[in-house]
Amino acid sequence: MDWIKDFYTKQYKWMGTDDEALFTFEEQLIEKVEKHSGPVKNLLELGGGKGHFAVMAAKRGYEVTVIELIPEAVEHMKALAKEHKVSDNLQIIEGDFYKVKLEEKFDVICYWDGFGIGADTDQRVLIKRMREWLRQGGDMYMDIYTPWYWAKVAGKRMQLNESISRAYDFDPEGCRMLDTWWQTEIPSETYTQSLRCYSPADLQLLVGNEWAMEIVGVGGAMDYEKGTYHESVPLNKAMSYLVKLEKERG
């Protein structure tokens, strides 16, 4: 998983940031958590990016802990927390969530748009860690990429802006989505994100019977020919789905 820090450092630098638009999107995620979980006092976010979800959750009164690997993203998160006056109930940990030690137990753990960065063995290690961090009866929310969508869009190329290009590919043997970014004028220097894709049945096999699994949301689909995004599509056409894993006794 040596690619992780390099890729996300470049992605955060190149993608730009529309804070208000991202706050609106993250607020919808918080509302999904509130809809599908019971009373929530505190929550943990893994891979918090530039902090929009964590800051928005803190603004809604939750005690939030967030773990983020990229220093530049952490700095942006701290600035947002200060700007929105939520620093007191937002704990920001710069580090690797495969290595960070946490003593606190959480009502909810969220991992948005990033599950699958390692092999199945890595996923199982992380799920075991998350189980230890959850209170009994707590819930975990994760975005899961579907194999059928990403296999279909393999080979798609796009121009993100005047200077940055992007292309999708798919590894059929590893069942992984490959997302490659580069500066358009330097095509030989690329940075690739590799995420393991899971059908719901395969995900249930991965997490085991210690979790009660429920699909609580379905991601959209992009029509690359027309350049339009369809927010509401059936699961068999969607790029991802949102699962809630409830920690059962055991």
The pLDDT tens digits for 51-79 are 999 999 999 999 999 999 999 999 999 99
Give me 51's structure tokens: 């902090």
> Is residue 8 pLDDT above 60, yes or no?
yes
Average pLDDT over residues 82-104: 96
* pLDDT tens profile 106-152: 999 999 999 999 999 999 999 999 999 999 989 999 999 999 999 99
**pLDDT (tens digit, 9 = 90+) per residue, 210-243?**
899 999 999 999 988 888 999 999 999 999 999 9
Looking at the predicted structure, is the pLDDT value of residue 249 above 60? Answer: no
For residue 227, which phi and psi values (nearest 5 degrees)?
70, 30
Domains of the chain: 3-145+198-220+239-247 (3.40.50.150)
Tell me which residue has tokens 């940075």. 191
* pLDDT at site 101: 95
Please return the burial class of 61, using the count of CB atoms within 10 Å of its CB with bins 0-12, 13-18 and 19+: exposed
pLDDT higher than threshold 90 for residue 88: yes
Q: Which residues, in sequence order, are CB contacts of 225 under 8 Å at separation 6+?
A: none
Instruction: Name which residue leads in pLDDT, 27 or 124.
Output: 124
pLDDT value at 250 more than 70: no
Please write the tens of the pLDDT for every residue from 34-50: 999 988 999 999 999 99
Q: Count CB atoms within 10 A of the CB of residue 151.
A: 16
Q: What is the pLDDT of residue 164?
A: 96
Q: What pLDDT shows up at residue 230?
A: 93
Q: Strands 164-171 and 176-183, how do they pair?
A: antiparallel
Distance CA 184, CA 188 (A): 9
Alpha carbon distance 162, 165 (integer Å): 8
Would you say how long the chain is, in residues? Answer: 250
Q: What is the pLDDT of residue 78?
A: 97
- Say if CB 194 and CB 23 are below 8 A apart: no
Question: What does the DSSP assignment read for 138-149?
Answer: EEEEEEEE-HHH
**pLDDT for residue 224:** 86
Q: What is the band of 244 on the pLDDT scale with cuts at 50, 70, 90?
A: very high
Higher pLDDT, 64 or 28: 64
